[in-house]
Structure 1
């Protein structure tokens, strides 16, 4: 129910943003056409909850900015990619050619980002990913018109590889979906874990029944399981893991137990661990305000999808403030984006040479709050001000 309430309120926010762009008195700069944002957030199928977090986080950022970026009225145009690359390309091209959007922001899944990267950046339009971070785009495929406010996919998984190593686990099994982010998760985990990987299990992105894989885990009896199963995949896996009585085997993950799925997982996820760049409990007034206002507006606990999208709104505002609201000089706008002159909900944040964040990463675990809601809570900092391992491969082309 809380997600449905959040959607209705989000639609009201989006309407308000569009309406607010029609009549802004005062400075001549504000008389210009509104800044247009194409906000790509999956709203169809089991992954829609992730897109809802992303969308609502960005809209809250715009509310905190009074529906303006750099003092200019702003219009947010929602784009449901339907988790289908061909659909995403068609809709994004329409936003570029028909609606003349100035920025494309969002994207939950890496296969969608890969599909729209060229159509967006070839038009010299800036693409800001608030979640998907496939490693090729952080290395040799870095792009002057692409920024990410999230991470490189591998990084959260490397956190768990280090956590497993630090815990002294010797034998670990891996379970991930068979697509780019799944392969990145395996690479990230193995980059830090030096013990034996008993088996790597790859499943279809649409798989919801894990009984066969759980039987193999039970038979192998590893020291721990590491998994990456986002959205509805994670809901089913966590429930089935508990039902199979496998909680005796430590459950290590990234994007499998977070606020986007915890309402559905409930007590089954309590105590399970995750690697992350953000939790609702991180210290700092900016984060406290974000979480407090998000819950008040949408009536559910935000996930990192929302936090990174909120930061994207703040990033765009900071860039347009530096350019005096101008979008004309792409080089100046790029420099302003790279400066990242805003207060992140994560605390430490800057961009590396590849336009991916330099930031902290945390080990977190699932807990139930006194009010009955579930959230991830930071346990300890695993990396501080870390640059992703692919940045050294980036030779940023001139744009």
Structure 2
């Protein structure tokens, strides 16, 4: 009897231990399945295709802020590195969206990548994706900010540049009124008034030209242009001023080079370079203008023996309203737009412009534009009288 009781007790204990072991196994399996779900990098169906189709950089983050999906744009903009968001500012926004459940949109200035120094302007939007993920979308607005700054600077510069001649015209008009009975003074003030008027007209015209060049339709009607003729026209426009200063303009031999574009614009660009060379050269010096065909390009070079440009200013000479010597530029009637116009004319013709300079030795500006293929020679035609081909 006693042995039977012991057997029953042992059986009961065995069943209890077995049931407990099974329960532990089930709990462990359930905990493992939940853990696997937490680290599972899969995102809701269709998100991959949506991110790939968006122009915005897209990132999906799991509850541990691991990046489980990132579009190529997110990597290219330096937002994601090593499956993590690079910027703490973005992680703070992600935490706020998780806490409140509300979508957020912010404008941020962030570095490009974990090691980059350059800043970029981003428009960032975040929202929950299901119950576990957060979706982050970012658009790079750096170029828009840059263009807006350029626009503001341009307006400010134009206002400043127009203020001087307009004020001068007003003062000279008053002086003329007060000197009405003094013919000599009237003539002197009238000459100065005409000079300021011409300067104002030239500045206004160059602003209009620069605005047109920055438009997409700047080369609406390109045609075949003879570069030798362009150079000849530009030199002719500067001949009187150069001769008055005893400056000789030396031209290289003709090349017969042709380019596609607008002849008036190319003449204006070369004219501006020659005018600069004359204005910044000492009396009795020489300005050289040459054309050559080189590796599918036509190069127009203007060299002077003037004061030269400091090395620190070489990268800025093509900026609008930038002057190396502000006082001298004003004395010569310079507007600060001439080289900016050259740059845009050349860029609109598919080329570039470069400068070399050394203080005290002069400067060399080189325009380079693609060369147009030579026109084909027309086939010989038969002579009506002889039936033979005409030469």
User: Is the TM-score greater than 0.5?
Assistant: no
TM (norm. structure 2) is 0.24
| Greater per-residue helix proportion | 2
Q: Who wins on radius of gyration, i.e. which is larger?
A: 2
